[in-house]
Amino acid sequence: MKHLTISEQFFLLVMNKKGTIGALNDYGKVSLVMAGLLDLQNAEVIEIRDSEVLILNAELPVEYSGLAPLVEKLQSLKKRTLEKVADAYGGTFLEKELSLLIASIREQLIKKGLVSKKSEEGIFGEKINWYADEPEIERIIHSIRKSFSSMEENLDQLALVLLLQKSNALTQYLSKHDQKMIKDELKALKRSDLAKDIQKMMGVIDQLYTVLAVAVII
């Protein structure tokens, strides 16, 4: 089983046949950026402290190399805050920055054999379609289902579920019953007396989503 980052798993589940995220799926784009930030925090490359993004290490671990464009963008910012990240990837959603990040993550998935492209005949002639590895998709969804009652035991799994839910991306993979179970579990987690790191992680996701989502709407 290949190790996948939060952003790689998220992208596999939301990628369309054009090998990207749908043009109208602003929340999906926002969530990919957030998944990348959480991955960088896991890798101890950055730390998210309140609304500030602190760079701890300029060297990106190999397993997170797909996030190089995001690190470069963070390094180029004079003031590293969530608002500035929103300016770079939110608002009118600068396609250049987003496309660089998507292409880099996709390339890592190609190297892992989890994304492929095929030349197929379409209505207007030949076109390139992109496909995610179905067994890997099934593995991720199976893992999510198994974690319904124990999401607090795996922070990465919890982060992935939160981002997929906020992006409305689970509807194509889970039944309404399963989606309700997830919502109920997340509500219970927010009300429970959890370890501080779990509450902090959930709080960071909510904060990032609020800041970046506002930028998209504006």
CATH number for the domain harbouring residue 50: 1.10.3630.10
Residue 101 or 210, more confident: 101
Dihedral over alpha carbons 150, 155, 156, 157 (to 10 degrees): 20
Dihedral over alpha carbons 113, 156, 214, 182 (to 10 degrees): 100
Question: What pLDDT is attached to residue 90?
Answer: 62
Domain presence at residue 58: yes
Identify residue 109 by its one-letter amino acid code.
Answer: L
Q: Radius of gyration of the chain from Cα atoms?
A: 17
Instruction: Determine the average pLDDT of the residues in 88-110.
Output: 83
- pLDDT greater than 50 at residue 93: no
- pLDDT greater than 50 at residue 67: yes
C-alpha 48: how far from its chain's center? 16
What is Dmax (Cα atoms) for the chain? Answer: 58
Domain presence at residue 65: yes
**Model confidence band, residue 210 (pLDDT cutoffs 50, 70, 90):** confident
pLDDT in tens, 14-51: 999 999 998 778 788 888 998 999 999 999 999 988 77
Phi/psi for 128 (5° steps) reads -95, 125
Domain count, the chain: 1
- H or E element, residue 168: none
Strand partners, 52: 49, 81
Instruction: Return the minimum-mean-pLDDT range out of 2-11, 88-97, 178-187.
Output: 88-97
Angle at 114 between CA 113 and CA 118, to 5 degrees: 85
Dihedral over alpha carbons 36, 42, 47, 50 (to 10 degrees): 80
Domain around 143: 6-216
Task: Give the predicted TM-score (pTM) of the model.
Answer: 0.88
Question: What pLDDT is attached to residue 196?
Answer: 63
Domain presence at residue 99: yes
Q: Looking up tokens 């289902």, which residue turns up?
A: 145
- pLDDT greater than 90 at residue 218: no
Instruction: Determine the average pLDDT of the residues in 110-114.
Output: 97
Domain presence at residue 1: no
What's the chain's average pLDDT?
85
Q: Looking up tokens 């501080």, which residue turns up?
A: 196
Domain presence at residue 166: yes
